Amino acid sequence: MRGESEVPSSDDGFTIPVAERVKRLPPYLFGKINKLKYQKRVAGVDVIDLGMGNPTDPPDPLIVEKMTEAVADPRNHRYSVANGIANLRKEVTSRYWKKYGVRLDPDSEVVTCIGSKEGFSHMCLALMGPGDTAIVPSPSFPVHVYAVMLAAGNVIELDVRQPDQFLSNIAYTCEHLYPKPRVVVVNFPHNPSATVIEQDFYVELVRLARKYSFLVISDFAYADICFDGYKAPSFLATPGATEVGVEFTTMSKGFSMAGWRIGFCSGNSEMVRALSTIKGYYDYGLFQPVQIAAIVAMRHCEAAVDSIAAEYQMRRDVFCSGLERLGWEIERPKAGMFVWAKIPEPWAKMGSIDFAMKLLDEGGVAVSPGRGFGEDGEGYLRMAIVENSQRLRQAVKQIGKVMKSEEITAE
């Protein structure tokens, strides 16, 4: 579970003395599925891939046009600045103000990242070291766990699917753990479980952060993909939030710019400065034409974001209705690009990894087994609604055929 890459990598032991941090990484639980998916595609099989949250929709043409124009300018091929060009950081602050009523200083409270995943990983390096502990939500998106581990920190995973209980468990952990946790990671709308919260959750989180002196990292990657009138609240919109934490946003989802690798860290100036310091040693900044195109995207393409969200809502309804007709009990997500579905009986007895393998092998549908997101994910599948509605209907048909193909009995 080191990531969700398309081409599988080997889990065999190393023959050279690699760093202990690499040895600490556990076996890759998506490995078998990715290997089979890769083999089928090499053999020419049309796999319907619902396993990875990889948007299939293109960006708005205006964004591509600006990118093309910027690439043609020879001045844009030099090294950029590690924290992002000034006009881009200003645009981030403008969007935060318009969407969430949050005022930020573009010079001290915003840094551009090579995708939010890179920024999160480097923030862990900036904040944590041996003996430090981070609380992360469970079921867990892989980077939330392994970025902490790669920074030599310890991880405590707390079930996030009941947010009030999650807060209570944070307080309990802080009361009974010594030394107290240094960082608390939150991720709403949550990947993989699609759990959502309201602003009062963050009010309590800020109170706890002040009481127990921990730092907050909010992963706000799915902020733009909301359904049925729900609006995902920003952590930074909470009074006092910038005193205790930062928030990561990305253009991958709402703007369909996943491969462009552009995200942002905003909030506490000292945390932002620490991340900028790390990035100053690791990279020379994002390719400048991407940054210029991102300015145009945020300035002129907000309507396209709303259109993308409406498209995902339609796909959610098509896919969930189909699974419900097959007998699945589905809680329709209010946000994000994933359906977190409990495996129905008797197939649940197989375990999520074996059932996911069966859907891929016999049905040509790739999904992510819940076990790949930790023990709390067992019994579930995460299915990305990234394909168009016609492909999702076909996926439901193929899942139905697999379920009817044979009677599964408990071992």
What is the per-residue burial (b if ≥16 Cβ within 10 Å, else e) of 199-208?
Answer: eebbebbbeb
| Per-residue pLDDT at 8 exceeds 70 | no
Contact assessment for residue 185 and residue 135, using Cβ atoms and an 8 Å cutoff: yes
- For 384, residues 6+ apart whose C-beta sits below 8 A from its C-beta are 49, 50, 51, 52, 53, 54, 337, 338, 368
Domain coordinates in residue numbering, the chain: 25-58+303-404, 61-301
Strands 338-342 and 380-384: antiparallel
Contact assessment for residue 300 and residue 62, using Cβ atoms and an 8 Å cutoff: yes
Which pLDDT belongs to residue 359?
96
How far is the C-alpha of 339 from the C-alpha of 54, rounded, in Å? Answer: 14
Hey, is 111 helix, strand or coil?
strand
| Two structure tokens written together for 330 | 């589905």
Give tens-digit pLDDT for 119-142: 999 999 999 999 999 999 999 999
| Two structure tokens written together for 77 | 């091929």
Which pLDDT belongs to residue 20?
85
Contact assessment for residue 108 and residue 93, using Cβ atoms and an 8 Å cutoff: no
Which pLDDT belongs to residue 15?
83
Tell me the DSSP string of 210-266. HHHT-EEEEE-TTTT-B-TT--PPPGGGSTTHHHHEEEEEESSSTT--GGG--EEEE
Fold exhibited by the domain 25-58+303-404: Aspartate Aminotransferase, domain 1 (3.90.1150)
Identify the sign of the CA torsion 282, 27, 355, 226.
Answer: negative
Which architecture does CATH list for 61-301? 3-Layer(aba) Sandwich (3.40)
Which pLDDT belongs to residue 316?
98
Give tens-digit pLDDT for 132-178: 999 999 999 999 999 999 999 999 999 999 999 999 999 999 999 99
Which pLDDT belongs to residue 6?
46
pTM over 0.85: yes
Residue among 231, 222, 283, 288 nearest 255 (CA): 222
How far is the C-alpha of 63 from the C-alpha of 72, rounded, in Å? Answer: 14
β partners of residue 159 = 138
Average pLDDT, the chain: 93
How far is the C-alpha of 285 from the C-alpha of 341, rounded, in Å? Answer: 39
Which pLDDT belongs to residue 314?
98
Give tens-digit pLDDT for 374-399: 999 999 999 999 999 999 999 999 99
- Per CATH, 25-58+303-404 and 61-301 having the same topology is answered no
Choice among 1-5, 207-211, 223-227 with the minimum mean pLDDT: 1-5
β partners of residue 137 = 158
Banded pLDDT at 82 (limits 50, 70, 90): confident
Which pLDDT belongs to residue 22?
84
Banded pLDDT at 2 (limits 50, 70, 90): very low
Give tens-digit pLDDT for 10-69: 556 678 899 888 887 776 667 778 888 889 999 999 999 999 898 999 999 999 999 999
- The C-alpha R_g of the chain, in whole angstroms, comes to 21
Hey, is 184 helix, strand or coil?
strand
